[in-house]
Amino acid sequence: MNIREIQDEIIRLKKENDICILAHSYVSRDVREVADYTGDSYKLSVLAKEVKQKTVLMCGVRFMAETVKILSPEKRVLLSNGIAGCPMAEQMSKDFIESVKKENPGYTVVAYVNTTALLKTVCDVCVTSSSAVQIVKNIDNKNIIFIPDCNLGAYVAKMVPEKNIKLLQGGCPIHASIDPKEAEAMRAAHPNAKMLVHPECVPAISLMADYAGSTAGILDYARKSDADEFIIGTEISIAEQLQYEFPDKKFYPLSMKLICPDMKATTLMDVYNAVRGKGGEEIELDDDVIVKARGCIDEMIRLGG
């Protein structure tokens, strides 16, 4: 079968088997094309609560599939490819955060949604990159511990100076690998381009950009802008996606190192196998993990709305 035929079969089978396909904007284009919904992690987690189908197939990474399961425990939730994790989500253990909490009584622990379900059970509220600034502003406590991404945390601290934000050493190995010198060189090479970056990049890059925000925020900014050239400082699929939408404009990836191997792990064949019952990993979480982690995600939706 060729790609078009496989895509048609996936679309037929997902309807026949009552499956909703959610795809993060970083997964490959052939997979995004068969999804019911695409978007950033905030949009996908809110949508997951509303979809009618009995099975949700997540094309993205494990913490995203876990978030769907936490929000919709009655649904069957499949991760298209079980090896797709997010290295940042695994960086801090539950025991470590419990000891940090003991050392810092009275602090609200804010967890980036890129964390395991188990870690969320000991945190107070989740944030995504698109909601972090707003949620931290809305928290009724001045003292905050922000985990695990110290780059996103530092960016939030700059945007919400009235809060006392403690950071721990963690972050995205892909976005954090970009040196501010590379960003300066890109600016010099494309002086008329708007620079749009994800706040998982180091703060020096977020602060030199014209816009820093989530994948959805970057797409939105570029779609509404009159500019003809853009430097895109996040996973290269976003520059690619924009280039398809606006063939007459130019979208330069900030760096060709911005490729997330985990987001690229899901292939169209993984999706095909999952919708025909021959693949995908079912996400199973203990009831007490679901209940405790859900409090953290519900707080995100409440404070972010």
Q: Which of 283, 216, 265 is nearest to 78 (CA)?
A: 283
Cα–Cα distance, 24 to 38 (Å, whole number)? 6
Candidates 7, 38, 41, 115; binder of ligand 13P (CB under 6 A) is 41
215 binds, among ligand 13P, ligand SF4, none (CB under 5 to 8 A by kind): ligand 13P
149 binds ligand 13P (CB under 6 A): no
**Total interface residues for ligand 13P by CB under 6 A:** 11
Say if residue 105 is preceded by a cis peptide, omega within 30 of 0.
no
172 binds ligand 13P (CB under 6 A): yes
262 binds ligand 13P (CB under 6 A): no
Q: Which is nearer to ligand SF4, 7 or 128 (CB)?
A: 128
262 binds, among ligand SF4, ligand 13P, none (CB under 5 to 8 A by kind): ligand SF4
255 binds ligand 13P (CB under 6 A): no
Three-class secondary structure of residue 135 per DSSP: helix
Candidates 200, 241, 254, 255; binder of ligand 13P (CB under 6 A) is 200
38 binds ligand 13P (CB under 6 A): no
Residues at the site binding ligand SF4, with contacts judged by CB under 6 A: 61, 86-88, 114, 172-175, 200, 235, 260, 262-263
Q: Which of 175, 135, 126, 181 is nearest to 151 (CA)?
A: 175
Q: Which is nearer to ligand 13P, 57 or 263 (CB)?
A: 263
87 binds, among ligand 13P, ligand SF4, none (CB under 5 to 8 A by kind): ligand SF4
User: Which string of x and - marks every residue 201-230 that binds ligand 13P (by CB under 6 A)?
Assistant: -------------xx---------------
Q: Which is nearer to ligand 13P, 44 or 186 (CB)?
A: 44
266 binds ligand 13P (CB under 6 A): no
Can you point out the beta strands (E) in 87-159?
A: 108-112, 125-127, 143-147
Q: Which is nearer to ligand SF4, 82 or 87 (CB)?
A: 87
User: Given CA atoms 24, 27, 32, 35 in this order, what sign does their dihedral have?
Assistant: negative
Q: Which is nearer to ligand SF4, 88 or 147 (CB)?
A: 88
Cα–Cα distance, 38 to 27 (Å, whole number)? 9
What tokens were used for 52? 């009618």
Burial 273-301 (b: 16+ CB within 10 A, else e): bbbeeebbbebebeeebbebbbbbbebbb
Please list the residues that pair with 145 across neighbouring strands.
Answer: 109, 166
Q: Which of 283, 234, 236, 231 is nearest to 264 (CA)?
A: 236
Are 146 and 166 within 8 A, CB to CB?
Answer: yes
- Contact residues toward ligand 13P (CB under 6 A) are 40-41, 86, 114, 128-129, 172, 198, 200, 214-215
